[in-house]
Structures are given as structure tokens and as C-alpha cells.
């Protein structure tokens, strides 16, 4: 394999910082970066995966650089024909027979098993259907019910990060997001308003704890303070439903904040605004050590990096499929329930699809066994089968290789930005450390909305989050190094035209003059392009590059 594109070696540890432009060893002008990008792309073992998508060729005059796969993934090439087949044959000719002959009825679990290896789960633990918000509501309420009926200290998983011997806060990383990333959830309910009402509801009959010698009741839900707003809304509703109070704390402090009253913690694996990767193994272990459960939101990590749900003993998780899994706009979400918790999973939304005898039409509800319990009503077959076809792009692809290329791409992009953009024009709010970085780069700049609008007009598609963040999502299945170099070059041109003067291009370096991107973790990249150090918002209507997905 070419030394310039050994992504797995280059992204494994992440202990050094890129060279700061202006140093004696720094790369040359723009031509040097463009040449390096061409060499990297030529030797990239994942480069051919781009052909599995319906995208313009880089040689096309109107080809766009698409860096918004963290909002909506590109269209896999096999999806249109599959949807046509479903519409014309399965729906058009077989009609109702397709529920059995076409495998429609089993689709939620079958597709869940296809997603499972991408998030580190064994088969039989993931069901596909509904939206992320609906699945999150199911997961949170069910987790509280499990915690309230179970003995404290017995709720953790059987995986490597279970509660036995796990110190509180073990393995935690600095996951606190920027202050402006918070959604305003107070650390304690106010005197009035929905959070106060959530804390004042009576505890359901049979809730665990509170009896003599049994310890306090498990009546608290912890929420990542920088969470995507909808997660906060759902958590508030789940708290009202279960008689819990809700408390928001920074993601890095979730483990330490768990106490004897905590029922469940809700954490985002990757911060949707900054791209910060939170410590899933350490946080899960710490929550389990406190006798509570944890629900992870994988919307910005599923399909972008290894998750390890089973290995780390995660209790429940949810995620969308229209970002890095490329399932299409509004494609169904997924719900993970660890196998040993499935018999205790008490959904707040019981439906006929999750009934033990769905066609028996019994007046009372009896839940089915296994992951099927996560179903509610009739699945959206067209979207679901489009997702199934989209997942074929992962055939023969290891998510570890995707992660390594993601880190190499984002390292290279940050290096180009540092070399091209005058000092002080942008601030990187995405961590440089590989262990703390997802698959996006977020840059804060003045007039960010107008800047993104101009970038899109010039063929570089990212997105904008209020008030001042440019987001660039790197999907290694179809994004290359030339894309990263072009995006940085066009960004520099737009900023130079909007604000003439200032420091010369290359005056700011990642880890130095590019504020916010410093610190350990980015791979050292030599001038010849070789890797010298082994390494590892809510949508805003009317704004450029914003869509239905965070």
C-alpha cells in the first residue's frame, strides 16, 4: 500500500500536531497541497467506493465538493433501481403478498442486523423503524422503568465496561462542548415551567427505591447539556411520563454526576455542532458503576467510526440512517436494546407490530420477544427498503478503515485551512486530538451564514449552524483529499474577498495560529505527503446548507 494513504496506520494513535505553516519544514504554496492531494487520492484504497454513489465526477466542470454528509448522505447508485423494483413489482404486482413473499414483514429486524456490525453489535439487538426522536422516547422511558424496578448496582452490561470494579468517571475524556453549544437545560428544575412540572409528578407505583433500607428512588434523568435540542425535548417528556426530574450536565461530567437517584443518562456520542467525540467506553462504565443505565445517541457516529456497543456494554442506543449510512431523506432510524435487557424492555408505545401475536387482534397487549419489542406500527416500506439497498455500499468495507481515512482527511483539511486562510479569520472548534474528533470539522467565523452561502454557490457544499459555525462533514466513502484541498482553497478565497487585508495566507497553523484546533492528536504530515507519525443544531430554516437533519 502507498505510504501516503495507509489510513489505518496514519490514524491509529494521533499523538502529534500537523506542521505549522511558516516553519522551515512546512508545505509549500497551494500547488504543493494540490499535488499532495492528487498523490493521496491515487493511492487511496477506498477511493473506488465513490463509484458506488451517484455523484458527479471530479473531472466534471460542475462537480460539487459535497461535505454535508453529516446532514444528508449522498445517493447510493443501487437505490433508484431497487425502489423502482419495489414499486413496480412488489407493490405493483405482488401487492399484499409482498409482506410475506417480498420479506416486508421481517425488514425491520433484517435491516437492523445489517446495521449491527457497523456499530459493533451482534445480530438480534437492533430494530429499524420510526424516527430517532420516537426511538429515543421509547429508549428513555424503558430505561427508567428498568432502573426503577431493578436493584441498584445490577443494571450494567455484561460487556467489558460493565459496573463490576469500574470506578466512577473511569476513562473519561474532556468532552465538554463550547458554551454556546448548550441548549439551555438547567441543572435543576426552575420554579415553574416544564422541568419543574417533570420533577413534581408522583413516582409511578412500583418504582424502585425509597423503601426502608432500599436506598433512594431512581427518579433522575441526566442529559448531555450540549445535546441536540430534540433530545432535550424528548428527555423532558420522558421525565414527565415517568415522574423523574431532569438534570443537564456537560457530557464529560456525566459519569461523575451519576448518583444513587440516577435512573438513566442520555449522551450524544458526537456533538452535532462541534464534532467533538465523547468518551463512550469511559462514560458507560462510570454510569454503570453508579447503578444506572445509559442511552447513547449515535446519529453522528454510526457509519463514521467504530462504536463498540456490545464490547462496551451499552444498554440502549438510537441513531439515524440518513447521514453516514446514506439511507435517504427521512429514512427510518434504529433502536438498539442489549440482548439481556430485551425481556425487561417495556415500551411506552406498544403497538400491534410488537405484539407477541400481531394478527391475533387481542384486546390486551402482550409484547413479543427480542428486538421486535421496539416496533410500534406498520413500517414505512419504501424508505426502509431504500435504506437496505443503500447499505450495500458497505459490502466489503470495514468501519475501522473508514475511520482511519476520516481522521487523515480532516487532518489534511485542517492543514490546508491553516496554510490558506489568513490568521484570525476562522477558529476551529473541533478538537485536534483524534480520540476527541468525530468525522466533521467545525469552524467559527464572522458572517458564517453568508460565507456558507457563497461557498455553496462556488460548489463547496457544507452547512451552517447558528450563530457562527461552518460545518464540513467528511464521509470517506465518497470524499477524497482533492475535495478537502478544494474546500479549503475556496474558503480562503471567499474570506479574502469579504475581508481584504489581514495576515498573509498561511499565517495561522493548526495547533498554533488556527485557534481551537491545537493540542495533541493530529497526525504529523511531512511535506512530501507521507504520514510520519502513526496515529487514530438544530436545522435553521432559511439558512444555507441546512436541512432536516442535524
Per-residue pLDDT tens digits for 277-323: 999 999 999 999 999 999 999 999 999 999 999 999 999 999 999 99
Q: Which one of 322, 334, 413, 472 is the catalytic residue?
A: 322
Q: What is the pLDDT of residue 31?
A: 80
Q: What is the pLDDT of residue 152?
A: 37
Residue 547 banded pLDDT, cuts 50, 70, 90: low
Closest CA to 418 of 474, 491, 480, 475: 491
Note if 322 is an active site residue: yes
Q: Which one of 53, 228, 413, 474 is the catalytic residue?
A: 228
Is 475 flagged in the annotation as binding? no
| Mean pLDDT across the chain | 82
Note if 412 is an active site residue: no
Q: Residues with Cβ < 8 Å from 504, sequence gap 6 or more?
A: 422
Q: Which one of 323, 375, 425, 523 is the catalytic residue?
A: 323
Q: What is the pLDDT of residue 27?
A: 41
Q: pLDDT digits over 193-221, tens only?
A: 333 333 323 333 334 444 444 689 999 99
Give mean pLDDT, residues 178-205: 33
- Give yes or no for residue 471 having a pLDDT over 80: yes
By three-state DSSP, how is residue 221 classified? strand
Q: pLDDT digits over 53-87, tens only?
A: 999 876 666 689 999 999 999 999 999 999 999 99
Residue 230 C-alpha cell reads as: 430534540
Alpha helices for 126-228 (secondary structure H): 132-149, 194-200
Note if 310 is an active site residue: no
Q: What is the pLDDT of residue 499?
A: 81
Q: Which carries the bigger pLDDT value, residue 418 or residue 545?
A: 418
Residue 469: its H or E element: strand 469-473
Rounded to whole angstroms, the Cα distance separating 467 from 446 reads: 9
Count CB neighbours of 101 within 10 A.
10
Rounded to whole angstroms, the Cα distance separating 322 from 455 reads: 23
Residue 418 near residue 487 (C-beta atoms within 8 A): no
| DSSP state at residue 433 | S
Note if 468 is an active site residue: no
Residue 205 near residue 196 (C-beta atoms within 8 A): no
Is 378 flagged in the annotation as binding? yes
Q: Which carries the bigger pLDDT value, residue 183 or residue 509?
A: 509
Q: Which one of 44, 297, 310, 483 is the catalytic residue?
A: 297
Q: What is the pLDDT of residue 158?
A: 37
Give mean pLDDT, residues 450-478: 98
| DSSP state at residue 530 | -
459-497 burial, b for 16+ CB within 10 Å, e for fewer?
bbbbbbbeebbbbbbbbbbbbbbbbbbbbbbbbbbbbbe
Alpha helices for 43-95 (secondary structure H): 79-85
Rounded to whole angstroms, the Cα distance separating 301 from 216 reads: 35
Q: Which carries the bigger pLDDT value, residue 336 or residue 150?
A: 336
Q: What is the pLDDT of residue 549?
A: 61
Give mean pLDDT, residues 104-124: 99
Q: Residues with Cβ < 8 Å from 474, sequence gap 6 or more?
A: 67, 69, 406, 409, 410, 413, 439, 440, 441, 484
Is 297 flagged in the annotation as binding? yes
Q: What is the pLDDT of residue 500?
A: 78
Is 515 flagged in the annotation as binding? no
Is 345 flagged in the annotation as binding? no
Alpha helices for 376-527 (secondary structure H): 381-390, 399-420, 448-457, 481-498
Is 271 flagged in the annotation as binding? no
Q: What is the pLDDT of residue 29?
A: 62
Rounded to whole angstroms, the Cα distance separating 359 from 471 reads: 47
Alpha helices for 310-398 (secondary structure H): 381-390
Is 532 flagged in the annotation as binding? no
Q: Which one of 138, 145, 437, 471 is the catalytic residue?
A: 471
Alpha helices for 258-398 (secondary structure H): 280-289, 381-390
| Residue 459, CA atoms < 13 Å, CB-side half-sphere | 13
Which structural domains are found in the chain, ordered by start?
3-77+398-498 (3.90.1150.10), 107-203+216-393 (3.40.640.10)
Q: What is the pLDDT of residue 6?
A: 64
Residue 141 near residue 352 (C-beta atoms within 8 A): no
Give mean pLDDT, residues 120-131: 99
Q: What is the pLDDT of residue 550?
A: 72
Q: Which carries the bigger pLDDT value, residue 13 or residue 214?
A: 214
- Give yes or no for residue 527 having a pLDDT over 70: no
Note if 471 is an active site residue: yes
Is 91 flagged in the annotation as binding? no
pTM of the model: 0.82
In sequence order, what are the beta bridge partners of 222?
247, 265
Give mean pLDDT, residues 432-454: 98
Q: pLDDT digits over 354-389, tens only?
A: 999 999 999 999 999 999 999 999 999 999 999 999
Is 4 flagged in the annotation as binding? no
Is 229 flagged in the annotation as binding? yes
Residue 33 phi/psi, 5-degree rounding, is: -70, -40
Rounded to whole angstroms, the Cα distance separating 123 from 147 reads: 25
Q: What is the pLDDT of residue 544?
A: 59
Q: What is the pLDDT of residue 306?
A: 99
Amino acid at each position: 500500500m502507498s505510504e501516503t494513504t495507509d489510513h489505518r496506520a496514519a490514524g491509529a494513535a494521533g499523538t502529534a500536531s500537523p506542521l505549522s505553516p511558516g516553519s522551515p519544514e512546512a508545505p509549500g504554496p497551494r500547488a504543493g497541497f494540490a499535488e499532495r492531494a492528487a498523490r493521496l487520492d491515487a493511492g487511496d484504497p477506498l477511493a473506488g467506493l465513490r463509484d458506488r454513489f451517484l455523484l458527479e465526477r471530479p473531472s466534471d466542470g460542475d462537480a460539487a465538493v459535497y461535505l454535508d454528509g453529516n446532514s444528508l448522505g449522498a445517493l447510493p447508485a443501487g437505490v433508484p433501481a431497487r425502489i423502482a423494483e419495489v414499486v413496480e413489482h412488489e407493490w405493483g404486482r405482488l401487492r399484499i403478498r409482498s409482506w410475506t413473499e417480498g420479506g416486508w414483514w421481517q425488514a425491520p429486524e433484517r435491516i437492523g442486523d445489517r446495521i449491527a456490525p457497523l456499530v459493533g453489535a451482534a445480530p438480534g439487538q437492533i430494530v429499524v423503524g420510526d424516527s430517532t426522536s420516537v426511538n429515543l422516547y421509547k429508549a428513555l422511558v424503558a430505561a427508567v422503568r428498568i432502573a426503577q424496578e431493578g436493584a441498584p448496582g445490577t443494571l450494567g452490561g455484561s460487556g467489558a465496561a460493565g459496573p463490576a470494579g469500574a470506578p466512577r468517571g473511569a476513562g473519561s475524556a474532556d468532552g465538554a462542548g463550547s458554551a454556546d453549544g448548550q441548549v439551555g437545560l438547567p441543572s435543576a428544575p426552575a420554579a415553574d415551567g416544564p422541568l419543574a412540572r417533570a420533577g413534581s409528578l408522583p413516582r409511578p407505583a412500583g418504582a424502585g427505591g425509597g423503601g426502608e433500607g432500599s436506598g433512594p428512588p431512581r427518579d433522575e434523568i441526566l442529559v448531555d447539556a450540549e445535546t441536540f435540542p430534540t433530545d432535550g425535548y424528548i428527555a423532558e417528556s420522558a421525565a414527565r411520563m415517568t415522574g423523574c426530574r431532569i438534570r443537564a450536565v456537560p457530557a464529560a461530567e456525566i459519569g461523575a454526576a451519576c448518583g444513587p437517584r440516577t435512573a438513566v443518562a442520555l449522551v450524544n456520542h458526537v456533538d452535532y455542532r462541534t464534532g467533538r467525540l465523547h468518551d463512550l467506553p469511559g462514560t458507560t462504565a462510570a454510569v454503570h458503576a453508579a447503578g444506572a443505565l445509559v442511552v447513547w445517541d449515535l446519529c453522528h457516529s454510526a457509519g463514521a467510526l467504530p462504536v463498540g456497543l456490545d464490547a462496551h456494554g451499552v444498554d440502549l442506543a438510537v441513531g439515524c440512517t440518513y447521514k453516514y449510512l446514506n439511507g435517504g431523506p427521512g429514512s427510518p432510524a434504529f433502536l438498539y436494546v442489549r440482548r439481556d435487557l430485551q425481556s425487561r424492555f417495556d415500551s411506552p408505545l406498544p403497538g400491534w407490530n410488537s405484539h407477541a401475536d400481531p394478527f391475533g387482534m387481542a384486546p390486551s397487549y402482550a409484547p413479543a420477544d427480542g428486538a421486535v419489542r421496539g416496533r410500534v406500527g406498520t413500517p414505512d416500506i419504501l424508505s426502509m427498503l431504500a435504506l437496505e439497498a443503500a447499505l450495500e455500499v458497505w459490502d466489503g468495507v470495514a468501519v475501522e478503515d473508514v475511520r482511519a481515512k476520516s481522521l487523515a482527511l480532516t487532518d489534511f483539511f485542517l492543514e490546508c485551512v491553516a496554510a490558506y486562510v489568513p490568521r484570525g479569520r476562522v477558529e476551529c472548534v473541533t478538537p485536534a486530538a483524534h480520540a476527541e474528533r468525530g468525522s466533521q470539522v467545525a469552524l467559527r467565523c464572522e458572517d458564517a451564514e453568508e460565507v456558507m452561502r457563497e461557498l455553496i454557490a462556488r460548489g463547496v457544499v457544507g452547512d451552517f449552524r447558528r450563530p457562527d459555525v461552518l460545518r464540513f462533514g467528511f464521509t470517506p466513502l465518497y470524499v477524497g483529499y482533492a475535495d478537502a484541498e478544494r474546500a479549503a482553497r475556496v474558503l480562503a478565497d471567499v474570506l479574502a474577498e469579504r475581508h481584504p487585508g489581514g495576515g498573509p495566507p498561511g499565517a495561522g497553523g493548526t495547533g498554533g495560529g488556527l485557534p481551537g484546533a491545537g493540542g495533541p492528536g493530529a497526525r504529523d504530515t511531512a511535506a512530501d505527503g507521507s504520514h510520519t507519525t502513526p496515529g487514530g443544531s438544530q436545522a435553521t430554516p432559511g439558512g444555507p446548507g441546512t436541512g432536516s437533519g442535524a
